[in-house]
Amino acid sequence: MNVLLSPQISSFPKFAGPTPSKTLKPLAGTPTQASRRPQTGVIVVGAGLAGLAAATRLHSEKVPFLLVEASDAVGGRVRTDTVDGFLLDRGFQIFITAYPEARKTLDYGALDLQKFYSGALIYCNGRFHRVSDPFRHFSDALLSLANPIGSVLDKLLIGLTRLRAVTRSDEEILSADEVPIIELLNRTGFSDSVVDRFFRPFFGGIFFDRELETTSRLFDFIFKCLALGDNTLPARGIAAIPEQLAGKLPPDSVLLNSKVASIDSGDGSKPSEVRLQGGEVLRGELGVIVAVEEPEAMKLLEGKIAGKTPGKRPRSTACLYFSADRAPVQEPVLILNGSGAGIVNNMFFATEVARSYGPEGKTLVSVSVIGSFECVSDEKLTRAAVGELSGWFGGSVVESWRHLRTYRIGFAQPNQSPPTDIENRSSRIGPGVYVCGDYWSSATFDGALVSGRRAAQALLEDREALLKDRGLSLSVV
């Protein structure tokens, strides 16, 4: 991929028709005049997974586009930093191989996916207890029947929940009647013990929601994906996912460090335009796809979209990374806090899952809390986590860990409590303007990919009528 690091556009894909096409001039420097506005087929705003999926779909139809991104790299919330030889994902993220859209879109082999153990260790009553997927670790699962994480009936109910999930189609699951997860669990007959010790830390960690207010649709969808696939990390960090998508886009089709300040939607007879913060104006003859996170979309499209989650608090998290000389648990397993006390929700030793996450001889420790703890300093948060984990692994072990970095993600996911509209939301919001992003579908890697593909699809469906109205034809350069 040839990524433009600043708005130094030498040429865009051209548009041919009665309006003269132009070879586009560099954006920087000269004041932009309306007649010299850089133009292309489609402007996609935001290079997270949704924007990348939209661009991928446009590219597959040979429609010229420009993907405009405010930050210094593609990926949005799916980024990885390299610090002292460690790969630090910006927050704890897991890639589930059974995500249906991801399966169609990504090259899994090239991602070199490293698997987690199918189950978890749960810290409760002062020790660790194992829960296992009986279909993959049968003998572990048998042994765990007697542990205090839930009754034998709870374990049977988990089996039935799995069956209910895997025997329904994704469409059925995502448009089924919905209730908050906690209500579904109570109705199913799960005991308080398994809810508090397993479901709260596990699904609470996935949706950053220990109250389990998130929709039962997503519970069933994730349950199905977990049953059918593996939990993994790409060997080169979670950012390898968006980077793979970006790597397949045409040279010079991604414009980084370029924040869109406003969007002027066309009215059918004239093209949509976006204005960058620096004042430059870009024109999308076929339209603009807005692929930014929900709060930013509300600003850019003021009044044009009703907030999907008005008044609902977005979900936030913080992730603390440490370097250690040795992992006290030497297996690729997720560790959950089922004790009902403390701030740590889940943690794991990342280098036990993917050796490439740290330099030789070093262990990467990843610790996640729910909420971003805005009012607590990094130092205090680190002290609290170290103090708590000392109770789990022993003070002499944990106090030797070196803090590497803390990520606080204020907007990790939109709030996904009912009512939700995951399956059927139209991406078209006005002439030439299309919307996508996880808040338009589901806040998962898969939901973001689906929403991006759907927005591009809607634009492609409108293309012929629009070109006819304007007496234009598309020529791809």
Ligand X SMILES: Cc1cc2nc3c(=O)[nH]c(=O)nc-3n(C[C@H](O)[C@H](O)[C@H](O)COP(=O)(O)OP(=O)(O)OC[C@H]3O[C@@H](n4cnc5c(N)ncnc54)[C@H](O)[C@@H]3O)c2cc1C
Phi, psi of 101 (to 5 degrees): -70, -40
Options 9, 63, 70, 282; binder of ligand X; rule CB under 6 A: 70
435 binds ligand X (CB under 6 A): no
Structure tokens belonging to residue 204: 């609470």
C-beta of 80 vs 93, nearer to ligand X: 93
Options 40, 93, 114, 323; binder of ligand X; rule CB under 6 A: 93
469 CB-contact burial (10 Å; exposed 0-12 / middle 13-18 / buried 19+)? exposed
CB of 19 to ligand X, least distance (A): 26
CB of 50 to ligand X, least distance (A): 3
409 binds ligand X (CB under 6 A): yes
CA-closest candidate to residue 85, choices 357, 332, 348: 357
C-beta of 215 vs 444, nearer to ligand X: 444
CB of 468 to ligand X, least distance (A): 31
* Packing angle of the helix pair 240-247, 49-60 (nearest 10 deg): 20
Alpha carbon distance 434, 422 (integer Å): 16
C-beta of 157 vs 344, nearer to ligand X: 344
338 binds ligand X (CB under 6 A): no
Options 77, 236, 308, 463; binder of ligand X; rule CB under 6 A: 77
Name the segment binding ligand X (CB under 6 A); options: 19-27, 40-48, 120-128, 179-187. 40-48
445 binds ligand X (CB under 6 A): yes
443 binds ligand X (CB under 6 A): yes
Where do the H-state alpha helices sit in 61-179?
100-105, 108-111, 138-143, 152-166, 170-174
Q: Is the dihedral of CA 220, 225, 231, 235 positive or negative?
A: negative
Alpha carbon distance 223, 219 (integer Å): 6
The helix (H) or strand (E) run that includes residue 402 is strand 402-413
Residue type at 92 in one-letter notation: F
CB of 89 to ligand X, least distance (A): 8
Structure tokens belonging to residue 256: 């980084």
CB of 421 to ligand X, least distance (A): 15
CB of 28 to ligand X, least distance (A): 17
CB of 253 to ligand X, least distance (A): 15
CB of 98 to ligand X, least distance (A): 11
Alpha carbon distance 469, 433 (integer Å): 17
Residue 145: other Cβ atoms inside 10 A: 12
Q: What is the DSSP letter of 198?
A: I
309 binds ligand X (CB under 6 A): no
154 binds ligand X (CB under 6 A): no
Where do the H-state alpha helices sit in 168-287?
170-174, 181-188, 192-194, 200-207, 216-228, 240-247
Yes or no: say if 434 and 427 are a contact pair by the CB < 8 Å rule: yes
Residue type at 437 in one-letter notation: G
Options 444, 453, 456, 466; binder of ligand X; rule CB under 6 A: 444
CB of 78 to ligand X, least distance (A): 5
Phi, psi of 13 (to 5 degrees): -55, 140
For ligand X (CB under 6 A), the number of binding residues is 34
Where do the H-state alpha helices sit in 292-421?
294-300, 350-353, 378-393, 395-398
Options 94, 122, 263, 385; binder of ligand X; rule CB under 6 A: 94
Residues in 263-302 at the binding interface with ligand X, rule: CB under 6 A: 291-293, 296
CB of 336 to ligand X, least distance (A): 14
Options 144, 154, 437, 474; binder of ligand X; rule CB under 6 A: 437
Residues in 344-403 at the binding interface with ligand X, rule: CB under 6 A: none
CB of 11 to ligand X, least distance (A): 21
Side-chain-side CA neighbours of residue 77 (13 Å): 24
165 binds ligand X (CB under 6 A): no
Options 21, 71, 97, 191; binder of ligand X; rule CB under 6 A: 71
45 binds ligand X (CB under 6 A): yes
81 binds ligand X (CB under 6 A): no
412 binds ligand X (CB under 6 A): yes
CB of 99 to ligand X, least distance (A): 7
C-beta of 259 vs 362, nearer to ligand X: 259
C-beta of 131 vs 301, nearer to ligand X: 301
Alpha carbon distance 261, 323 (integer Å): 40
Residues 6+ apart with CB under 8 A from 139: none
What residues line the site for ligand X (CB under 6 A)?
Answer: 45-51, 68-71, 76-78, 91-94, 259-260, 291-293, 296, 317, 409, 412-413, 437-438, 443-445, 448
